[in-house]
Structure 1
């Protein structure tokens, strides 16, 4: 266990907008020492003429959130006047980039005052999900807080609602000019929107298929209607639908790869990497191998490197049998991963038998 817990920080950007990056060094130590409702507070930093700090609750802020990490933005000078601000809290990956599935943005401008000095998220990250992910490295967690202080003259400018208007356009089918037939269901959309968001749709709808697609619905094979609907939802709103679970993430990952929608691929792959267990690992590993998803494959192999996890996967006969029949070469990699170096001869014999 790490012997200490500390928060180190770095500043980025200017005076009205600032990114504060802090590193929880000693995640396990903080989790063990601090009870539910107790926090570690960062050093203060200044944005827009006010002093701020980040409050990190390793075992949750409220009693019913003990399974979660809670993170709050605290305004130390809010007793002097009301302060309006927007903020985003994001877990950073090993390259220092925000992880889309672990990023939370305030939906509206928040007012920090003498009565309400902090705003944040009680259920920022589920501890079990974080600990199973690749974002807790060397017992350290890195989170970035982006703060924008909004002055009175700026409050009249509302946040962008383009995604809502485009979502309504899809829902109402106004001026829709292309129809897809998916799983027996007709689904209408707009060529220009699809082409702007996907190079594959652009080639299909404004290339050789343009004339034929104008006359009759385009048949989409090997995809369920609810998956294609979710794909359209993301294309129009740049967000995943409410029913985005692990199973849907697997289907959407294939769809996003098929239509070259990079951000959706990253979101889906991250979702799957963060929810690997003995029930899903065989299916996820086969999916990763068949479609070339490197990060997902590495996460699955790392999970199976523990013999008890491999044993549990084999016990799930359906997933294991599917993996064995669809990607037999993957089992070689699994065996190569779990056998210790001193059993090299045994490993070579097994590999030879598999040829």
Structure 2
């Protein structure tokens, strides 16, 4: 049988095989595309400079004894109330000077700064009670001009900085301007604090006199929280 094999000739064993040689791929080094550094948006900085320079301002506000120049289109873009006052059917034709009542000049200045820059960096130097007072005034202004983002920023800031001396006044503010989260935060703070200290504040006296229903509602909610 072996002798009849086609692979055995002259006492030699022939083995036939197929060999495939795999060559390593040649990878050519390509130059990486140059990276372009894109700077952050600077539109707020430019708008802030526009406010400061008063260039092309087309409206002036009288606030107390101070005046503030601004640009109608920027105000209208940021506040539907300003839009209605400056461009709506009830606007005073040709009015370039408008009085602003019931807002302090420094509060209106901070409001304009936020309208142009979307930040409250102008009040960064304020601390403690001074900052809290400014934030409360800004919340009122934000509600007046229907600036929801500013209102929420102020609400958040007040929630994070509640104290015994101001919580009652802040609760009244939250109720008057429909700040549900701030109202709940005040009630929760009062439920975990010394009521004797809170009752001794002028804010509590004002709350009891001017907003008795709010105080009753607060006590009901505090009672429910303490039962949990």
Q: Among 151, 158, 161, which residue is 1:265 paired with?
A: 151
Evaluate the alpha carbon distance shift between residue 305 and residue 193 of structure 1 in structure 2; reply closer, same or farther with a 3 A threshold: same
Q: Among 153, 159, 184, which residue is 2:35 paired with?
A: 153
Count of aligned pairs:
188
Distance 2:96 2:102 in 1: 19
Q: TM-score, normalised by structure 2?
A: 0.76
Q: Report deviation, 1:209.
A: 4.3
Q: Among 198, 205, 210, which residue is 2:79 paired with?
A: 198
Match of 1:13 in 2: none
Name the one with the larger strand percent: 1
Match of 2:213 in 1: 329
Match of 1:235 in 2: 115
Evaluate the alpha carbon distance shift between residue 269 and residue 338 of structure 1 in structure 2; reply closer, same or farther with a 3 A threshold: closer
Match of 1:315 in 2: 200
Is this contact kept in 1: 2:113–2:122, CA < 8 A? Answer: no
List structure 1 runs of 4+ shifted beyond 6 angstroms: none
Runs of 5+ unmatched residues, structure 2: 1-32, 125-130
Distance 1:340 1:216 in 2: 54
Is this contact kept in 1: 2:110–2:122, CA < 8 A? Answer: no
Match of 1:136 in 2: none
Q: Among 128, 133, 136, which residue is 1:247 paired with?
A: 133
Describe the superposition over 1:213-258 as per-residue Cα deviations: whole angstroms up to 9, x where unpaired.
Answer: x335211111101111101000000111332522211111111111
Describe the superposition over 1:130-175 as per-residue Cα deviations: whole angstroms up to 9, x where unpaired.
Answer: xxxxxxxxxxxxxxxxxxxxx95221x3221111110011001001
Distance 2:57 2:121 in 1: 21
Q: Give the alignment's Cα RMSD to 1 decimal.
A: 2.0
SS of equivalent to 2:61 = strand
Structure showing greater Rg: 2
- 1:207 to 2:207 alignment: no
